[in-house]
Chain A
């Protein structure tokens, strides 16, 4: 694959500048946009690989932009938000964003998120949609057989834990909100479901601890949700 094209949507010039300088230094191709209307236009015409989207835009709410773009494209969207409330991030993730960055963010963090997303992109291009086996480091899920292995050792998972693992694996690299996960697992998102989710997540993690490269595979985003990382990203 050629160098990916990244669209930066940010209305604040110094931050826009910071991001574009960083991307340039790391040899990413990029285009910039200062408002939502222009961003949607650029997305449609250039079809970038990744969208870096600031939520606080002058002409439209960032979440609205995500919804509009999601109506025709599945491109990865990384949201950038000033830390005001977790609710904004959750709303953006539920609207279809893949990841989020909180201002102020460090350059390293930005680059790390881009790498994670690009890897996911590449993986998605090589995988066929009906891949029967998922492999991530020493973790292997055999969807057809309905079982999971770490270092060729079968994991003894409860049905819920297995469902949870599959859900995270299918969305590997993407932050899944509590609401999304509970809805997928139980069909409803009640407070008690979220609490149960934490228990299952904790027990699932404990079972993954058998190998050092899978023990940190699942990332917690306190107050927001969980994400499975690619083993190489950890």
Chain B
């Protein structure tokens, strides 16, 4: 069975494949044997000598589930050792160890493999080829470093734990009951006068049942022998002896035995593969699902919630996630697993979290660093940048190797996603900054140009009044005074707009949203322009109900001022300006209609553009600065509303904007 190592995809995405390939990449295999430590040390030295990176691989075989606790402990300590020596841990599953190693090495571009080899002098028992020989056969291109070791007895007699004892009892029960049932059926068949072949079939069927439902193949083997003996004893004439008269019987027995062995071997392998595939497939699917979800998640919060949900699904353990921003850990989010009632001991756990975060390594339970904690902590990092720490509840049941492998993969994926999100955010910020900068530059240019016109008029008029005011007649003087006043007033309006615009730049960052009565804001705008509006008929229609909007009052007042100002600019004196407020669904609509010339259809799209103005856009006309309407557009958009312009009947323009309506819960 092949498991594509997740780490490879990760590296490709990181874009490091190329650079790393030039260096040596050394693979060392982890095992539960005590001598494995020596091999790991040697591998680390080799990797250092080649200036290469080290990957520690554990091949999880079907036998792993039967591994006694002592061995598991040793395996974990070997894993920790490898990690402390700078190796990256990986796990693959399969029953053919050399094949898995070779596949992994090929797929992740390893250049060398370090393996330990027991130096058994008496080669008599070496019936099959050694691991090294088979590995070389699978992957002849790799460099091999063989670390011999003497005499360390790898296998330590298994302790029969309580769990094992239970299992053995269950297996024996299955075995014996199958035996009884098969024999009973055999007697029934023989009583009914069926041929021996049927009885043999029944025993073979029983064998299949036993090999599938018991945990060890010894049961199948014993069944094979006993079933032949029973058949001989019970069903061949003479009955109840081990003799058999028929000349063919010895052959039958042999074939039956051979068939039994073959079937049991096949059945057991099938069962193991199925179990392993299911487990591996589930883990793979979690990793793939994580990948898929991460491509959708954009924000840091989304990524962390994907991480939490995937790890919960995978491990069914309590989780705690400490996100980090700007190199500082933030408050954690706790995801308790169902049934986990052990409280989180922040004071005891925190040092492990801090350590994992600052050293970019694992820490906590089952590691050498702060092993007394309840949780195992992984640092989410990409290269030198740490994005947070994930803690997995260990309590008294350590994670197995493949769980750790997948956990590391998922955490790695999420770290990458966090980095991508950060990069995207930074890129976006730079772009927004650049865009703002461009806008600001344009604005400054336009503003300074447009400010000059009224300033020239003010300075010139004041100057002539100062130098030769006495010689001018009263009407001329009055004209000059009023020009100064109007120009100053125009400048003031401009400054108001610029102030509003400065609050708008950078999106809707500085909006002070409060619940406001639309009519209050319109009244304020009308008051503000009372001097200009004196010579117009202002007609207002106000609905019966109170229309509230959630808005930055200052800015909305400015919008209404600009729209009214626009009407005053274009409509002839004495004409009517209508202001209607109405509710349309969940929107509040304000309509300002004038009786001016209106706006031609081809220019309606462009009225809200910055710096646009009707007539002569490049001339020195003081109407040149289109900032007013463009400000209206950005303000209304920032409030989640819309603004548009249409024709008034028989002539004139109608500006209409809408804002989301707000409800008020009365507080009596």
Contact = CB atoms under 8 A, between A and B. Distances in A.
Interface string A55-95: 00000000000000000000000000001101000000000
A218 B557 CA distance: 19
- Overall SS of chain A's interface: helix
Given A194-B514, A198-B515, A222 B524 contact: yes
A221 B662 CA distance: 20
Nearest to B488: A104
A222 B524 CA distance: 7
Contact of B554 (A160, A191, A193, A223): A223
A191 B515 contact: yes
A202 to B, nearest CB: 5
Contact of A192 (B517, B524, B667): B667
B665 interface: yes
A38 interface: no
B515 A220 contact: no
Contact of B666 (A84, A199, A220): A199
B523 A220 contact: yes
B354 interface: no
A195 interface: yes
Interface string A2-20: 0000000000000000000
B667 A186 contact: yes
B515 A83 contact: no
B667 A198 contact: no
A67 to B, nearest CB: 25
A101 B112 CA distance: 82
Nearest to B546: A202
Given A220-B524, A222-B524, A196 B554 contact: no
Give the interface size class of chain A.
20 to 34
Interface in B618-668: 662, 664-668
B557 A83 contact: no
B553 interface: yes
B520 interface: yes
Interface in A138-155: none
A21 B514 CA distance: 40
Interface in A184-229: 186, 191-196, 198-199, 202, 220-223
Contacts of B499: 83-84
Given A160-B668, A195-B515, A202-B517, A222 B546 contact: no
A158 interface: yes
Contacts of B488: 104
A196 B514 contact: no
Interface in B524-557: 524, 546, 548, 553-554, 557
B210 interface: no
A83 B514 CA distance: 20
Contacts of B523: 220
Contacts of A223: 514, 553-554
B330 interface: no
A220 B523 CA distance: 8
B496 interface: yes
B520 A222 contact: yes
A160 B499 CA distance: 38
Given A202-B517, A220-B524, A196 B553 contact: no
Contacts of A86: 554
Contacts of B665: 192, 195-196
Nearest to A197: B667
A195 B517 CA distance: 9
B83 interface: no
Contact of B546 (A83, A104, A199): A199
Contacts of B492: 104
B534 to A, nearest CB: 13
Contacts of B520: 198, 220, 222
B580 interface: no
Nearest to A182: B667
Contacts of B516: 198, 222
A175 to B, nearest CB: 14
Interface of B: 488, 492, 496, 499, 514-517, 520-521, 523-524, 546, 548, 553-554, 557, 662, 664-668
6 contacts: A191-B514, A192-B667, A198-B548, A198-B664, A220-B523, A223-B553
Given A198-B520, A199-B546, 4 more contacts: A186-B667, A195-B662, A220-B523, A222-B516
